[in-house]
Amino acid sequence: MNFPTSPPPLADVQRVLCAFAHPDDIDFGAAGTVARWVDDGLEVAYLLVTRGDAGGFDDTPRDRMPAIREAEQRAAAAAVGVKQVEFLDGYGDGTLTPSLPLRRDLTAAIRRLRPDRILTNSPLRRWERIAGPSHPDHLAVGEAVTCAVYPDARNRFAFPELALEQGLEPWTVREIWYTGGPTPDHAVDITGTYERKLAALRAHVSQTAHLEDLDGLLRQRHRPAAMAAGLPDGHLAEAFSIISTA
Ligand SMILES: [Zn+2]
């Protein structure tokens, strides 16, 4: 199962919500693109489902990890110019499923923030590489976000208490961008924002400080994506799958 061919992105987007499982998902997958959106004047908000309490590569006490990773994500957001960073409560790293409570929380966020576009983890697994993008939390968030976009957020009768008790009126998100999926076919040239992406990833100290050559690792990933998209030699790109959800 793959995504269909991406349509051209919407030209009139004003607000973007980036909804991901863990701190650093946005930055590995899309920080260069997010920086471009910020430069273009789009309002970008981050919503993290967990605080990444099962991540890290050292003996940092586990009970300290959520606060550490929340602070790292806020610093990473600042590196690309994103000011609004929110975290859901009650979801543990490594335990996510596309559950009704998660769909409800995502629906509430969508109705409150009213994004035209959502960027999220891919709900489709890459079978050729089981680690990284195909972490079960990523697949779960990609699926839950997709369910929240359709039908939940736009349907008054889904989670009716959101409208009745919190005044959160239905909202239709018109476009989803997925990162980490099997066949990304929409490339964004991040050559001009790459240094900010690198700074954002370096802000995730608990996740990247142990990597000897983060810069080289990233270039190895983003150069082929640029070449595949026909960009000039030496350019860097992030690639996505886009679906229209209007
Ligand atoms: Zn992750």
d(CA 109, CA 102): 11
Apex 92 CA angle, 87 and 94, nearest 5: 120
| C-alpha 169 – ligand 1 centre gap (Å) | 30
| C-alpha 65 – ligand 1 centre gap (Å) | 15
Confidence of residue 242 (pLDDT cuts 50, 70, 90): very high
Whether the CA torsion 203, 204, 210, 211 is positive or negative: it is: negative
Instruction: List % helix, strand, coil for the chain (3-state, nearest 5).
Output: 40, 15, 40
Looking up tokens 């099962």, which residue turns up?
54
Whether the CA torsion 72, 81, 179, 110 is positive or negative: it is: positive
Residue 56 reports pLDDT greater than 70: no
| C-alpha 165 – ligand 1 centre gap (Å) | 33
User: Which tens digits make up the pLDDT trace of 22-54?
Assistant: 999 999 999 999 999 999 999 999 999 999 988
* Confidence at residue 140, expressed as pLDDT on a 0 to 100 scale: 98
Residue 126 reports pLDDT greater than 80: yes
| C-alpha 22 – ligand 1 centre gap (Å) | 5
